[in-house]
A and B are shown apart, each in its own frame.
Chain A
C-alpha cells in the first residue's frame, strides 16, 4: 500500500513541475502541438516522460478529466517523442523498444540526440538498433559519404523496414549520387535475400507445424487401417473429442482448481487420451467388429458414427466454437530473424508430435502388444493360429489409434478453433497422408505428414491455398501411379 502511494507520488511529482507544459499543450492549436512535440522529441528531458505517457492515453494528467483531441498525426508524434524520452531509461529492454520505434518514426531533428545516445549506449542489442535508426536518418543527409555508409549499414540488416527505405531511395527522383545508388542497389538485393530466407523459413516452419498435426491425426488412422483394413471416417471426430476434453479440463480447473490452470494442457493429455480411446474401443466392440471383411460398409458405418458424434457435441456444447486459451508458457514466441517469429505453442506441438511418434514406435516394436499388432497386421489367420487373441488386439489397437487422435486434439486446441466441425477439416488431409505414406509403416506416415504439411504451406503464398490443395491432390494421384502402395510398402505376396 505504502509502495503504491510512493509510486503515485513519484508519478505526480514531475507532473507538478511540468504542469505548465501540459496546460500549454492543451490550449495550443494542433499545428503548434505538433511543433511542440517535435521539439520535445529532439531535446528529451527525463522529467517530461510522465506527461508524454499521459498524453498517449489522451489526457494531460492523472485524474484530469479534460478531454484531449488528438488526430493520427499527433498520436504518431507523441509515440515518437515518448520513444525519444524512453531512450534515457535505465531498463535496456525499454530502450530497445524505444530504438525500434525510432527506426520507424525518427525525424532528422532528432539526429543529434540519437548520435549522442548511440555513443553512450552500452547494451549491444540497443546499440545495433540505434545504429539502424541513425542509418535511416542519415539516408537524408547532405554528404554522399554519410549516405553511402548508411546505405551499407542498412544492407547488413534483414529488416522489412530497411527494404522500404532503400526502395524509396531508389525511386527515379530519389538518390542522385551514382555511387550511393549502386551501393543502395547492392544493399537492397542483400536485404531482399535475407527477407526471402526468413519468409521461406517461416513457411517451412508453419508447414512443419501443420505436418505435426496431420501426423497426430494420421498416425492412428494408419495403424487401424493397416491392422483392420478399414478406414475409420469417425477418426476426425476423435480429434474433436480430444479438443473438447481439453476444453472441459480447462473449464473444470478454472472452477475448482484455479491454481493449476497454467498446466491444464498437461492435465488434458491423459483425459483426452482416455476419452478418445474409450469411445474408439466402444465403437470397435459394437459396430466395426461386425463389419470385418467389408471395408466399404465400414466406411459408411463409421461415417454414420461421425455424424452422430458431431451432432451430439453440437447439442451439448452448442454449434459455436468454444474458447480454449493458451496458457502463458505457450503464448509468445522466439524471434529468430526480423521477419521470422516462431510461436512457442507451435514449437511445443512439433516436439510433442515427435515424442508421440517415438512412444508409438516403442510400443509397436518393444512390447508384447506391439508384437501382436504387427503379427495380426501381417497375417491375421496365422497370428490367430499361434494363439494371438486377434479380437483383443483389434480392440486395443483401435483404442490406441483413437487415443493418439485424442492427443492430436489437445495439440490442435492450442493452435486452432475448437468447434463441432473441427475433425472434418483435417480428416481428408490425414486420409491423403495415409494414402501417400502407405499402410502400417510409421516412417511412411511421418514423411508423408511432414511432406504434405510443408508442401501445403510453401504452395499457399505462391498460388493460393485452394489451388495449392488441388495441385497436391493431382500430385498424389500421379504419385500413386508410380507407387500404388504408398511411399513405404510392406513387401509381401498376399493377393486376394
Chain B
C-alpha cells in the first residue's frame, strides 16, 4: 500500500516521533503570525489570505476536538455543534458591530428603522460582557438541552436527530430579520476590536496566536480530562451505559459536564473565528456544517485527541483546494469521504497508523 511518508515514518519511530512532529507543527504555527509581519515581497512572508485560512482551519480544529470529546469519548454524536460555534461567533459579532457602529445603532437595524437596541444587546459594547456571552450563550443552551435530553435518556440516533433539529430551528430563527441579528446577511464589515483595526496585520497576528493558544489549551484540557477518572467513566458511558448504572454511577452528570464543556469550547472557537474571517451569518448553523464536523472527527479518528485536529486540517485543506479546482465535484468527494471513512476507516487515519505500528 502506498502510504504517505509521514505515516511510514511515524510507524517506525513510534510516539517519540509523533511528539517531535507535534512540537514542530506547533512551532510552525507559532511562527506563522511572525512571518506574516515581514515586509511585502520577502521570501518568507506569509500572506494575509494564508494566515486567515490557517486561522479558520484552527478554529474548526477546536470544534473537531470538542465534538470528539462528546462523540469519541462519551458516544454522543452531536449534529448540532455548529450552533454552539455560531452562538459564540454571534456573541463576539455583537461586540464588533457595536464597535463599528460607535454610539449609533448597527447598520442593519437602521435599515429596519429600529430606534433602540433590543434588550439582549444590552452591555454588548463592553468587551468583557461580550466574552461572558461567548461562554454563557452556548453553555446555557447546552445545559438546558442536555439536562432535558439526558434526563429522559435520549441517546444514539435519537440524540443526533434532536441536536440536528435544534440547530435547524435556530438557523430559521436567525434568518429572520425580526430576531435582531442581521437576518440573512448576519454580521459583517467589522472595523475595530478593542480599538485596533481588525484587518491590520498586527491584530490578525494576535488573533491567530490566540487561536493557537486556545487550541493548545483545549488539547491539554481534553488530555487531562480523558486521562482522569471522569474520562474513563465517559468511555464507560459510551461502551455500556446500563452496566455503568448498575455499578451505581449516575451517568447524567458526567454527560452533562462534557456536553457543556464541549459547547463552550465551540463557542470560544466561534468567537475567535468571527474577527478573523470577518463575517458570521446563519449559514454557519445549517445542519450541513455540523455534520461536516462529524466527518472531520471520523476521518482523523474518534476517541483520539490528535485525530480530530488532523481530520479538520485534511478535510478543510482539501475543501479549499477542491472548491477552486473542481467546484462541481467537491460534494461528490465529500460524500464519498463520508462513505469510505465509515466503511473502511472506522478508527480514522490515526487508527491506521496505530494498526500498522502494532503488527
Contacts and interface: CB of A to CB of B under 8 A. Distances in A.
A152 interface: no
Given A303-B291, A310-B331, A481-B152, A296 B336 contact: no
A470 B173 CA distance: 8
B332 A308 contact: yes
A467 B173 CA distance: 7
Nearest to A301: B342
A431 B165 contact: yes
B172 interface: yes
A209 to B, nearest CB: 21
B295 interface: yes
A432 interface: yes
B117 interface: no
B148 A304 contact: no
B287 A299 contact: no
A382 interface: no
Interface in A294-308: 294-301, 303-308
Interface in B189-211: none
Contact of B162 (A294, A303, A477): A477
Contact of B148 (A298, A310, A464, A477): A477
A141 interface: no
B7 interface: no
Nearest to B148: A477
A299 B343 contact: no
Given A291-B343, A297-B342, A477-B149, A431 B161 contact: yes
A480 B154 contact: yes
A295 B343 contact: no
Given A291-B342, A495-B242, A300 B295 contact: yes
User: Majority SS of interface residues in chain B?
Assistant: helix
A229 B242 CA distance: 18
User: Majority SS of interface residues in chain A?
Assistant: helix
A304 B295 CA distance: 10
B301 to A, nearest CB: 13
Given A297-B342, A303-B291, A496 B242 contact: yes
A216 interface: no
A300 B296 CA distance: 11
Interface string B133-156: 000000000000100110111101
Nearest to A432: B165
Interface string B17-50: 0000000000000000000000000000000000
Contacts of A305: 335, 338-339
Given A296-B77, A300-B291, A287 B343 contact: yes
A309 to B, nearest CB: 8
A428 interface: yes
Nearest to B330: A311
B328 A315 contact: yes
A306 B336 CA distance: 10
A299 to B, nearest CB: 6
A28 B126 CA distance: 71
Contact of B343 (A231, A290, A311): A290
B160 interface: yes
A34 to B, nearest CB: 39
Interface in B266-302: 287, 291, 294-295, 298
Contacts of B334: 304, 307
B284 to A, nearest CB: 17
Contacts of B332: 307-308, 311-312
B356 to A, nearest CB: 22
B308 to A, nearest CB: 14
A301 B161 contact: no
B219 interface: no
A331 B173 CA distance: 34
Contacts of A308: 331-332, 335-336
Contacts of B100: none
Given A303-B338, A307-B338, A435-B161, A470 B169 contact: yes
B148 to A, nearest CB: 6
B141 to A, nearest CB: 12
B157 A466 contact: no
Contacts of A303: 291, 338
A312 B329 CA distance: 9
B158 interface: yes
A478 B294 CA distance: 27
A428 B172 contact: no
A428 B164 contact: yes
A230 interface: yes
B166 interface: yes
Contacts of A297: 298, 342, 346
Contacts of A481: 148, 151-152
Contacts of B337: 304
A435 B335 contact: no
Contacts of B355: none
A300 B338 contact: yes
Nearest to A483: B152
A47 interface: no
Given A297-B346, A466-B173, A311 B328 contact: yes
A38 B265 CA distance: 75
Contacts of A296: 71, 77, 156-157, 160
B162 A435 contact: yes
Contacts of B158: 435, 480
B168 A428 contact: yes
Interface in A372-428: 428
A484 interface: yes
B148 A307 contact: no
B224 interface: no
A320 to B, nearest CB: 15
A465 B336 CA distance: 35
B232 interface: no
A145 interface: no
Contact of A428 (B149, B165, B294): B165
Given A470-B173, A484-B154, A495-B242, A231 B161 contact: yes
A384 B336 CA distance: 32
A469 interface: yes
A490 interface: no
Contacts of B149: 477
Interface string B68-103: 000100000101000000000000000000000000
24 contacts: A231-B161, A290-B343, A295-B157, A296-B157, A296-B160, A300-B298, A301-B338, A304-B334, A304-B337, A306-B335, A311-B335, A431-B164, A432-B165, A435-B158, A466-B172, A466-B175, A469-B169, A473-B165, A476-B165, A477-B149, A480-B158, A481-B148, A481-B152, A496-B242
Interface of A: 225, 229-231, 287, 290-291, 294-301, 303-308, 310-312, 315, 428, 431-432, 435, 464-467, 469-470, 473, 476-478, 480-481, 484, 495-496
6 shortest interchain CB distances as A-B pairs: A304-B338, A307-B335, A308-B335, A311-B331, A304-B335, A297-B342
Given A225-B157, A304-B338, A469-B172, 4 more contacts: A297-B342, A428-B161, A466-B175, A480-B152
